[in-house]
A = this chain, B = another copy of it.
Amino acid sequence: MTIVYWEDARATLSCIGGWHRLRIQLGDLCMPVIRGDDIREAKRSGKVGVIFGFQNCSPIEGDLELVQVFHELGVRIMQLTYNNQSLIGAGRYEKMDAGTSRFGREVIREMNRVGMIVDLSRSAEHTSLQAIELSERPVANTHANPASFHAALRNKFDDLLRALALSGSMLGFSLYPFHLRDSGQCTLESFCRIVVDTAELMSIDHIGLGSNMCRGWGYETLEWMRSGRWTFGPDYGEGSADKPTRPEQPPWFRTPADMPNITRGLLDRGLDTQEVGKILGGNWLRFFSEGFESNAARTTGGGSEK
Contact = CB atoms under 8 A, between A and B. Distances in A.
Interface in A57-106: 58, 61-65, 83-87, 90, 93-94, 96-99, 101-104, 106
A10 interface: yes
A40 B230 CA distance: 37
Contact of A231 (B64, B84, B98, B231): B64
A64 B229 contact: yes
Given A85-B87, A86-B87, A103-B84, A64 B98 contact: no
A78 to B, nearest CB: 16
A197 to B, nearest CB: 33
Contacts of A6: 62
Contacts of A86: 87
Contacts of A98: 85, 90, 94, 96-98
A254 to B, nearest CB: 33
Nearest to A11: B61
B87 A102 contact: no
A132 to B, nearest CB: 17
A228 interface: yes
Nearest to A106: B231
B62 A229 contact: yes
Interface in A244-260: none
**Most chain B CB within a 10 A radius of its CB, from A94, A101, A104:** A101
A232 interface: yes
Nearest to A101: B85
A96 B129 CA distance: 15
A113 B193 CA distance: 52
Contacts of A94: 98, 101-102
**Most chain B CB within a 10 A radius of its CB, from A6, A58, A85, A99:** A85
A268 interface: no
A136 interface: no
Given A8-B8, A87-B86, A87-B87, A64 B102 contact: no
Contacts of A228: 62
18 contacts: A8-B8, A58-B62, A61-B61, A62-B230, A63-B230, A64-B231, A65-B229, A84-B102, A85-B98, A85-B102, A85-B103, A86-B87, A87-B87, A94-B101, A96-B98, A97-B98, A102-B230, A102-B231
Among all A-B residue pairs, the 4 with the closest Cβ atoms: A96-B98, A85-B101, A98-B98, A63-B229
Given A58-B62, A83-B102, A87-B87, 14 more contacts: A6-B62, A62-B230, A84-B102, A85-B98, A85-B101, A85-B103, A85-B104, A87-B230, A93-B102, A94-B98, A97-B98, A102-B230, A103-B231, A106-B231
Interface of A: 6, 8-10, 58, 61-65, 83-87, 90, 93-94, 96-99, 101-104, 106, 228-232
